[in-house]
Amino acid sequence: KEHGARRTDPRELVGPELSFITGNLARLLESGHPMLNTVSQYYFSASGKHIRPLLVMLIAQASSVATKRQGRTSMLVDSDAARVDYSLMDRTLSQTLSSDRESQHANQLIEAATRSGSGGRPYAPSVRRGLTVLPTHRRLAEITEMIHTSSLLHDDVIDRAETRRGMPAIQKRFGNKMAIFAGDFMLARASMALARLRDPEVIEIMSSVLCDLVDGEFKQLQNLEDGSAPMARPDERAFDYYLQKTYLKTGSLIAKSCRSSAILSNSTDDVVEAAYVYGRNVGIAFQLIDDLLDFTVSAAALGKPVGADLELGLATAPVLYAWQEHAELGPLVARKFSEPGDVQRAWELVHRSSGLHRTRELARQYARRAADALAIFPPSPATEALEGVTQSVLTRTR
Ligand code: FPP
Ligand code: MG
Ligand code: MG
Protein backbone atom coordinates (compact mmCIF):
# COMPACT_ATOMS: atom_id res chain seq x y z
CA LYS A 1 0.00 0.00 0.00
CA GLU A 2 1.41 3.36 -0.93
CA HIS A 3 0.28 6.28 1.19
CA GLY A 4 2.83 8.79 -0.09
CA ALA A 5 2.22 12.26 1.23
CA ARG A 6 0.02 11.11 4.12
CA ARG A 7 2.87 9.24 5.69
CA THR A 8 4.22 10.52 8.99
CA ASP A 9 7.91 10.33 9.83
CA PRO A 10 8.19 7.90 12.78
CA ARG A 11 11.31 9.61 14.09
CA GLU A 12 9.40 12.87 14.32
CA LEU A 13 6.71 11.25 16.46
CA VAL A 14 8.88 9.25 18.84
CA GLY A 15 12.40 10.61 18.19
CA PRO A 16 12.75 12.21 21.65
CA GLU A 17 11.72 8.95 23.38
CA LEU A 18 14.17 6.95 21.30
CA SER A 19 17.00 9.35 22.05
CA PHE A 20 16.75 8.56 25.78
CA ILE A 21 17.00 4.83 25.29
CA THR A 22 20.78 4.50 25.13
CA GLY A 23 21.29 6.53 28.30
CA ASN A 24 18.55 4.68 30.15
CA LEU A 25 19.95 1.31 29.10
CA ALA A 26 23.34 2.29 30.50
CA ARG A 27 21.70 3.11 33.83
CA LEU A 28 19.64 -0.07 33.88
CA LEU A 29 22.82 -2.09 33.30
CA GLU A 30 24.98 -0.43 35.92
CA SER A 31 26.69 -2.88 38.25
CA GLY A 32 29.46 -2.87 40.82
CA HIS A 33 31.83 -4.37 38.24
CA PRO A 34 33.44 -1.96 35.78
CA MET A 35 34.32 -4.81 33.42
CA LEU A 36 30.73 -6.11 33.41
CA ASN A 37 29.52 -2.57 32.68
CA THR A 38 31.90 -2.30 29.73
CA VAL A 39 30.96 -5.68 28.25
CA SER A 40 27.20 -5.39 28.72
CA GLN A 41 27.17 -1.92 27.15
CA TYR A 42 29.50 -2.78 24.29
CA TYR A 43 26.83 -3.30 21.60
CA PHE A 44 25.02 -0.13 22.64
CA SER A 45 28.09 1.94 21.76
CA ALA A 46 27.27 1.49 18.07
CA SER A 47 23.91 2.81 17.01
CA GLY A 48 21.50 -0.08 16.50
CA LYS A 49 18.40 0.29 14.34
CA HIS A 50 16.16 0.35 17.43
CA ILE A 51 13.32 -1.06 15.37
CA ARG A 52 11.80 -2.89 18.36
CA PRO A 53 11.68 0.16 20.69
CA LEU A 54 10.39 2.22 17.77
CA LEU A 55 7.48 -0.18 17.25
CA VAL A 56 6.69 -0.34 20.97
CA MET A 57 6.45 3.48 21.12
CA LEU A 58 4.39 3.78 17.94
CA ILE A 59 1.95 1.08 19.07
CA ALA A 60 1.76 2.93 22.40
CA GLN A 61 0.73 6.07 20.56
CA ALA A 62 -1.57 4.32 18.09
CA SER A 63 -3.38 2.49 20.88
CA SER A 64 -3.55 5.48 23.22
CA VAL A 65 -6.60 6.64 21.29
CA ALA A 66 -8.32 3.26 21.56
CA THR A 67 -8.46 2.69 25.30
CA LYS A 68 -11.29 1.25 27.30
CA ARG A 69 -12.56 2.77 30.47
CA GLN A 70 -12.75 -0.29 32.69
CA GLY A 71 -10.29 -2.95 33.71
CA ARG A 72 -9.20 -5.17 30.88
CA THR A 73 -10.10 -8.76 30.24
CA SER A 74 -7.74 -9.69 27.41
CA MET A 75 -6.01 -13.02 27.78
CA LEU A 76 -2.69 -14.47 26.69
CA VAL A 77 -2.08 -15.07 23.01
CA ASP A 78 -1.15 -18.69 23.04
CA SER A 79 -1.37 -21.79 25.11
CA ASP A 80 2.16 -21.33 26.50
CA ALA A 81 0.63 -19.86 29.60
CA ALA A 82 -1.17 -23.06 30.43
CA ARG A 83 2.15 -24.86 30.62
CA VAL A 84 3.76 -22.46 33.10
CA ASP A 85 4.49 -24.32 36.31
CA TYR A 86 3.74 -21.83 39.04
CA SER A 87 4.97 -24.20 41.73
CA LEU A 88 8.48 -23.34 40.54
CA MET A 89 8.07 -19.83 41.81
CA ASP A 90 9.61 -19.41 45.21
CA ARG A 91 7.24 -17.61 47.53
CA THR A 92 10.15 -16.21 49.50
CA LEU A 93 11.74 -14.76 46.39
CA SER A 94 10.93 -11.16 47.23
CA GLN A 95 12.33 -11.61 50.73
CA THR A 96 15.49 -13.13 49.34
CA LEU A 97 15.81 -10.30 46.86
CA SER A 98 15.35 -7.51 49.33
CA SER A 99 17.91 -8.99 51.70
CA ASP A 100 20.50 -9.11 48.94
CA ARG A 101 22.53 -5.94 48.76
CA GLU A 102 23.42 -6.09 45.06
CA SER A 103 19.78 -6.63 44.12
CA GLN A 104 18.72 -3.83 46.39
CA HIS A 105 21.12 -1.56 44.58
CA ALA A 106 19.71 -2.69 41.24
CA ASN A 107 16.16 -2.21 42.47
CA GLN A 108 16.97 1.34 43.47
CA LEU A 109 18.51 2.01 40.09
CA ILE A 110 15.53 0.61 38.23
CA GLU A 111 13.14 2.55 40.41
CA ALA A 112 15.13 5.75 40.05
CA ALA A 113 15.26 5.25 36.30
CA THR A 114 11.48 4.78 36.24
CA ARG A 115 10.91 7.95 38.19
CA SER A 116 13.40 10.24 36.50
CA GLY A 117 14.61 8.41 33.44
CA SER A 118 14.86 10.82 30.58
CA GLY A 119 18.00 12.89 30.66
CA GLY A 120 17.13 14.56 33.96
CA ARG A 121 13.58 15.36 32.87
CA PRO A 122 10.71 13.90 34.87
CA TYR A 123 9.67 10.50 33.61
CA ALA A 124 6.13 11.60 32.89
CA PRO A 125 3.78 10.61 30.08
CA SER A 126 4.68 12.41 26.88
CA VAL A 127 1.93 13.66 24.62
CA ARG A 128 2.72 14.56 21.02
CA ARG A 129 0.02 15.41 18.50
CA GLY A 130 -2.55 14.11 20.94
CA LEU A 131 -0.85 10.71 21.23
CA THR A 132 0.42 9.44 24.59
CA VAL A 133 3.51 7.43 25.53
CA LEU A 134 3.50 6.36 29.18
CA PRO A 135 6.64 5.82 31.28
CA THR A 136 5.76 2.12 31.32
CA HIS A 137 5.85 2.10 27.50
CA ARG A 138 9.35 3.57 27.55
CA ARG A 139 10.44 0.98 30.04
CA LEU A 140 8.89 -1.80 27.91
CA ALA A 141 10.84 -0.47 24.92
CA GLU A 142 14.05 -0.69 26.94
CA ILE A 143 13.23 -4.18 28.20
CA THR A 144 12.55 -5.28 24.63
CA GLU A 145 15.91 -3.91 23.47
CA MET A 146 17.67 -5.63 26.40
CA ILE A 147 16.06 -9.00 25.61
CA HIS A 148 17.04 -8.60 21.97
CA THR A 149 20.61 -7.58 22.75
CA SER A 150 21.10 -10.31 25.35
CA SER A 151 20.06 -12.85 22.72
CA LEU A 152 22.64 -11.34 20.32
CA LEU A 153 25.38 -11.65 22.96
CA HIS A 154 24.65 -15.35 23.17
CA ASP A 155 24.04 -15.70 19.44
CA ASP A 156 27.45 -14.32 18.51
CA VAL A 157 29.13 -16.90 20.73
CA ILE A 158 27.02 -19.69 19.24
CA ASP A 159 27.55 -18.48 15.66
CA ARG A 160 31.23 -17.63 16.23
CA ALA A 161 30.49 -14.27 14.61
CA GLU A 162 33.40 -12.09 13.52
CA THR A 163 31.65 -8.73 13.55
CA ARG A 164 28.43 -7.01 14.63
CA ARG A 165 27.36 -3.39 14.10
CA GLY A 166 30.62 -2.74 12.31
CA MET A 167 32.71 -3.72 15.35
CA PRO A 168 34.46 -6.92 16.40
CA ALA A 169 31.83 -9.31 17.79
CA ILE A 170 31.53 -9.31 21.57
CA GLN A 171 33.46 -12.54 22.19
CA LYS A 172 36.24 -11.54 19.78
CA ARG A 173 36.79 -8.56 22.03
CA PHE A 174 36.13 -9.94 25.51
CA GLY A 175 36.02 -13.74 25.17
CA ASN A 176 33.17 -16.25 25.45
CA LYS A 177 32.76 -16.18 29.23
CA MET A 178 32.35 -12.41 29.39
CA ALA A 179 29.91 -12.45 26.47
CA ILE A 180 27.74 -15.11 28.14
CA PHE A 181 27.82 -13.40 31.54
CA ALA A 182 26.92 -10.06 29.99
CA GLY A 183 24.02 -11.70 28.14
CA ASP A 184 22.78 -13.39 31.33
CA PHE A 185 23.17 -10.19 33.31
CA MET A 186 21.26 -8.17 30.72
CA LEU A 187 18.45 -10.71 30.74
CA ALA A 188 18.39 -10.59 34.55
CA ARG A 189 18.12 -6.81 34.60
CA ALA A 190 15.45 -6.96 31.90
CA SER A 191 13.51 -9.41 34.11
CA MET A 192 13.73 -7.08 37.10
CA ALA A 193 12.58 -4.12 35.05
CA LEU A 194 9.74 -6.27 33.67
CA ALA A 195 8.62 -7.27 37.17
CA ARG A 196 8.68 -3.59 38.13
CA LEU A 197 6.04 -2.86 35.52
CA ARG A 198 3.73 -4.63 37.97
CA ASP A 199 1.59 -6.00 35.16
CA PRO A 200 1.22 -9.80 35.47
CA GLU A 201 -0.12 -10.22 31.95
CA VAL A 202 2.76 -8.30 30.37
CA ILE A 203 5.27 -10.19 32.55
CA GLU A 204 3.81 -13.49 31.38
CA ILE A 205 3.74 -12.54 27.70
CA MET A 206 7.27 -11.13 27.66
CA SER A 207 8.61 -14.13 29.61
CA SER A 208 7.12 -16.47 27.03
CA VAL A 209 9.27 -14.70 24.41
CA LEU A 210 12.38 -16.15 26.06
CA CYS A 211 11.02 -19.68 25.54
CA ASP A 212 10.23 -18.78 21.93
CA LEU A 213 13.78 -17.57 21.29
CA VAL A 214 15.26 -20.84 22.51
CA ASP A 215 12.59 -22.83 20.67
CA GLY A 216 13.48 -20.96 17.46
CA GLU A 217 17.19 -21.58 17.91
CA PHE A 218 16.52 -25.29 18.46
CA LYS A 219 14.36 -25.51 15.35
CA GLN A 220 17.15 -23.82 13.42
CA LEU A 221 19.69 -26.29 14.77
CA GLN A 222 17.75 -29.23 13.41
CA ASN A 223 16.69 -29.53 9.82
CA LEU A 224 13.13 -30.68 9.30
CA GLU A 225 14.32 -33.87 7.62
CA ASP A 226 16.83 -34.79 10.32
CA GLY A 227 16.21 -38.45 11.09
CA SER A 228 13.93 -39.02 8.10
CA ALA A 229 14.59 -39.58 4.41
CA PRO A 230 16.06 -36.52 2.66
CA MET A 231 13.58 -34.54 0.57
CA ALA A 232 14.03 -34.34 -3.19
CA ARG A 233 12.49 -30.87 -3.24
CA PRO A 234 11.39 -28.65 -0.39
CA ASP A 235 7.68 -29.22 0.17
CA GLU A 236 5.11 -27.12 1.98
CA ARG A 237 6.21 -28.58 5.30
CA ALA A 238 9.73 -27.29 4.73
CA PHE A 239 8.43 -23.75 4.23
CA ASP A 240 6.07 -24.04 7.21
CA TYR A 241 8.94 -25.22 9.39
CA TYR A 242 11.15 -22.37 8.22
CA LEU A 243 8.41 -19.78 8.81
CA GLN A 244 7.61 -21.12 12.25
CA LYS A 245 11.28 -20.93 13.15
CA THR A 246 11.34 -17.40 11.77
CA TYR A 247 8.39 -16.39 13.94
CA LEU A 248 9.99 -17.90 17.03
CA LYS A 249 13.47 -16.44 16.63
CA THR A 250 12.46 -12.95 15.44
CA GLY A 251 8.70 -12.46 15.15
CA SER A 252 7.78 -13.42 18.69
CA LEU A 253 9.71 -10.64 20.46
CA ILE A 254 8.35 -8.01 18.08
CA ALA A 255 4.78 -9.38 18.16
CA LYS A 256 4.60 -9.80 21.91
CA SER A 257 6.23 -6.46 22.71
CA CYS A 258 3.69 -4.77 20.42
CA ARG A 259 0.94 -6.68 22.18
CA SER A 260 2.30 -5.70 25.59
CA SER A 261 2.50 -2.07 24.50
CA ALA A 262 -1.20 -2.07 23.61
CA ILE A 263 -1.99 -3.76 26.93
CA LEU A 264 -0.11 -1.05 28.82
CA SER A 265 -2.30 1.50 27.00
CA ASN A 266 -5.31 -0.30 28.47
CA SER A 267 -6.53 -0.97 24.94
CA THR A 268 -9.61 -2.87 23.95
CA ASP A 269 -9.11 -6.57 23.23
CA ASP A 270 -9.42 -6.21 19.47
CA VAL A 271 -6.70 -3.55 19.43
CA VAL A 272 -4.44 -5.70 21.63
CA GLU A 273 -4.92 -8.56 19.18
CA ALA A 274 -4.30 -6.31 16.16
CA ALA A 275 -1.06 -5.03 17.74
CA TYR A 276 0.08 -8.65 18.05
CA VAL A 277 -0.88 -9.51 14.47
CA TYR A 278 0.87 -6.38 13.21
CA GLY A 279 4.07 -7.19 15.13
CA ARG A 280 4.02 -10.83 14.12
CA ASN A 281 3.81 -10.04 10.42
CA VAL A 282 6.29 -7.16 10.50
CA GLY A 283 8.66 -9.40 12.45
CA ILE A 284 8.50 -12.21 9.92
CA ALA A 285 8.95 -9.73 7.04
CA PHE A 286 11.93 -8.25 8.88
CA GLN A 287 13.65 -11.64 9.21
CA LEU A 288 12.87 -12.60 5.59
CA ILE A 289 14.69 -9.45 4.50
CA ASP A 290 17.51 -10.31 6.90
CA ASP A 291 17.84 -13.69 5.22
CA LEU A 292 17.81 -11.95 1.82
CA LEU A 293 20.45 -9.36 2.77
CA ASP A 294 22.76 -12.20 3.75
CA PHE A 295 23.01 -12.87 0.00
CA THR A 296 22.82 -9.41 -1.49
CA VAL A 297 24.68 -6.83 0.58
CA SER A 298 28.37 -6.30 1.31
CA ALA A 299 29.70 -7.10 4.77
CA ALA A 300 30.81 -3.48 5.12
CA ALA A 301 27.27 -2.22 4.52
CA LEU A 302 25.71 -4.81 6.80
CA GLY A 303 28.21 -4.39 9.64
CA LYS A 304 28.29 -8.17 10.03
CA PRO A 305 29.49 -11.07 7.86
CA VAL A 306 27.52 -11.95 4.71
CA GLY A 307 26.95 -15.46 3.42
CA ALA A 308 26.93 -16.34 7.11
CA ASP A 309 23.81 -18.49 6.96
CA LEU A 310 25.29 -20.92 4.43
CA GLU A 311 28.50 -21.07 6.47
CA LEU A 312 26.35 -21.96 9.50
CA GLY A 313 24.61 -24.69 7.49
CA LEU A 314 21.27 -22.86 7.34
CA ALA A 315 18.84 -23.15 4.45
CA THR A 316 16.82 -19.93 4.58
CA ALA A 317 14.05 -18.81 2.21
CA PRO A 318 16.36 -17.91 -0.72
CA VAL A 319 17.85 -21.42 -0.57
CA LEU A 320 14.49 -23.16 -0.22
CA TYR A 321 13.16 -21.34 -3.29
CA ALA A 322 16.36 -21.99 -5.23
CA TRP A 323 16.15 -25.67 -4.30
CA GLN A 324 12.70 -25.86 -5.91
CA GLU A 325 14.42 -24.94 -9.20
CA HIS A 326 17.75 -26.73 -8.70
CA ALA A 327 17.37 -30.22 -7.25
CA GLU A 328 21.13 -30.49 -6.82
CA LEU A 329 20.80 -28.24 -3.76
CA GLY A 330 19.06 -31.10 -1.90
CA PRO A 331 22.18 -33.04 -0.86
CA LEU A 332 23.99 -29.79 0.00
CA VAL A 333 21.16 -28.74 2.31
CA ALA A 334 21.06 -32.20 3.88
CA ARG A 335 24.78 -32.08 4.73
CA LYS A 336 24.51 -28.43 5.79
CA PHE A 337 26.95 -27.20 3.13
CA SER A 338 29.75 -28.92 5.01
CA GLU A 339 31.91 -30.18 2.14
CA PRO A 340 34.51 -28.04 0.36
CA GLY A 341 32.85 -25.93 -2.34
CA ASP A 342 29.29 -26.48 -1.00
CA VAL A 343 28.86 -22.91 0.22
CA GLN A 344 30.17 -21.44 -3.05
CA ARG A 345 27.96 -23.76 -5.14
CA ALA A 346 24.83 -22.98 -3.11
CA TRP A 347 25.60 -19.24 -3.31
CA GLU A 348 25.78 -19.45 -7.12
CA LEU A 349 22.59 -21.48 -7.42
CA VAL A 350 20.68 -19.06 -5.22
CA HIS A 351 21.84 -16.14 -7.36
CA ARG A 352 20.98 -18.01 -10.56
CA SER A 353 17.46 -18.84 -9.31
CA SER A 354 14.45 -16.68 -8.53
CA GLY A 355 15.03 -17.33 -4.82
CA LEU A 356 15.98 -13.78 -3.91
CA HIS A 357 13.09 -12.28 -5.85
CA ARG A 358 10.60 -14.70 -4.35
CA THR A 359 11.90 -14.09 -0.84
CA ARG A 360 11.29 -10.37 -1.29
CA GLU A 361 7.78 -11.14 -2.61
CA LEU A 362 7.08 -13.26 0.46
CA ALA A 363 8.30 -10.47 2.75
CA ARG A 364 6.01 -8.09 0.88
CA GLN A 365 3.05 -10.37 1.57
CA TYR A 366 3.79 -10.38 5.30
CA ALA A 367 4.23 -6.60 5.27
CA ARG A 368 0.85 -6.28 3.60
CA ARG A 369 -0.76 -8.43 6.28
CA ALA A 370 0.86 -6.20 8.90
CA ALA A 371 -0.50 -3.06 7.25
CA ASP A 372 -3.97 -4.67 7.07
CA ALA A 373 -3.89 -5.33 10.82
CA LEU A 374 -3.63 -1.58 11.40
CA ALA A 375 -7.14 -1.04 10.01
CA ILE A 376 -8.68 -1.58 13.42
CA PHE A 377 -6.71 1.28 15.03
CA PRO A 378 -8.37 4.68 14.91
CA PRO A 379 -6.48 6.54 12.14
CA SER A 380 -3.76 8.77 13.58
CA PRO A 381 -0.25 10.00 12.74
CA ALA A 382 0.98 6.92 14.66
CA THR A 383 -0.82 4.47 12.36
CA GLU A 384 0.61 6.34 9.36
CA ALA A 385 4.07 6.09 10.89
CA LEU A 386 3.54 2.36 11.46
CA GLU A 387 2.67 1.97 7.77
CA GLY A 388 5.89 3.79 6.99
CA VAL A 389 7.94 1.45 9.18
CA THR A 390 6.30 -1.54 7.50
CA GLN A 391 7.47 -0.21 4.12
CA SER A 392 10.96 0.59 5.35
CA VAL A 393 11.41 -2.97 6.63
CA LEU A 394 11.12 -4.06 2.98
CA THR A 395 13.53 -1.48 1.57
CA ARG A 396 16.18 -1.56 4.28
CA THR A 397 19.76 -2.35 3.29
CA ARG A 398 21.20 -3.09 6.73
C1 FPP B 1 20.10 -13.66 15.69
O2 FPP B 1 19.89 -14.52 14.61
C3 FPP B 1 19.64 -14.31 16.96
C4 FPP B 1 18.37 -14.40 17.39
C5 FPP B 1 17.27 -13.81 16.62
C6 FPP B 1 17.98 -15.09 18.66
C7 FPP B 1 19.09 -15.80 19.40
C8 FPP B 1 18.54 -16.54 20.58
C9 FPP B 1 19.28 -17.24 21.45
C10 FPP B 1 20.76 -17.33 21.33
C11 FPP B 1 18.60 -17.94 22.58
C12 FPP B 1 18.98 -17.36 23.92
C13 FPP B 1 18.10 -16.22 24.25
C14 FPP B 1 18.34 -15.27 25.23
C15 FPP B 1 17.31 -14.25 25.52
C16 FPP B 1 19.60 -15.19 26.01
P17 FPP B 1 20.97 -14.74 13.47
O18 FPP B 1 22.16 -15.45 14.00
O19 FPP B 1 20.26 -15.38 12.34
O20 FPP B 1 21.30 -13.24 13.04
P21 FPP B 1 22.65 -12.43 12.95
O22 FPP B 1 23.06 -12.52 11.53
O23 FPP B 1 22.29 -11.03 13.32
O24 FPP B 1 23.65 -13.04 13.87
MG1 MG C 1 22.18 -17.30 15.02
MG1 MG D 1 24.12 -14.90 14.34
Beta bridge partners of 127: 132
**Closest to 271 in 3D by CA, of 48, 68, 51:** 68
**Cα–Cα dist 330/351, whole Å:** 16
Distances (CA, A) of 271 to 3, 75, 202, 238: 22, 13, 15, 32
pTM of the model: 0.87
> Residue 128: enclosing H or E segment and its boundaries?
strand 126-128
151, 164, 181, 252: residue to mutate for ligand 1 pocket, most atoms within 8 A of CB: 151
Which residue puts its alpha carbon closest to atom 10 of ligand 1?
Answer: 155
**Cα–Cα dist 315/359, whole Å:** 13
| Phi, then psi, of 248 in degrees rounded to 5 | -65, -45
Which residue puts its alpha carbon closest to atom 11 of ligand 1?
Answer: 214
CA 19 to chain centre: 19
Residues in CB range of 59: below 8 A, 6 or more apart: 258, 261, 262, 265, 275, 278, 279, 382, 386
For residue 287, give the ligand nearest its CA.
1
Alpha helices, H only, the chain: 10-28, 34-40, 51-63, 93-98, 101-116, 135-158, 170-174, 176-196, 200-221, 236-246, 252-264, 269-296, 299-302, 308-311, 317-325, 329-334, 342-352, 355-373, 381-395
| Phi, then psi, of 205 in degrees rounded to 5 | -65, -50
DSSP structure class, residue 118: B
Q: How far is the CA of 130 from the centre of ligand 1 (A)?
A: 37
Atom of ligand 1 nearest to the CA of 253: 5
Please list every protein residue whose CB sits less than 6 Å from any atom of ligand 1: 147, 150-151, 154-155, 158-159, 161, 183, 187, 210, 213-214, 217, 249-250, 304, 308
Q: What is this model's ipTM?
A: 0.98
Q: What is the pLDDT along the chain (398 residues), one digit of tens a residue?
A: 444 445 778 888 888 888 888 889 999 999 999 999 999 999 998 877 899 999 999 999 999 987 775 444 333 333 333 333 323 323 233 333 444 555 555 566 666 555 444 444 446 788 888 888 999 999 999 999 999 999 999 999 999 999 999 999 999 999 999 999 999 999 999 999 999 999 999 999 999 999 999 999 999 988 766 666 778 899 899 999 999 999 999 999 999 999 999 999 999 999 999 999 999 999 999 999 999 999 998 877 778 777 899 999 999 999 999 999 999 999 999 999 999 999 999 999 999 999 999 999 999 999 999 999 999 999 999 999 999 999 999 999 88
Q: How far is the CA of 154 from the centre of ligand 1 (A)?
A: 7
For residue 248, give the ligand nearest its CA.
1
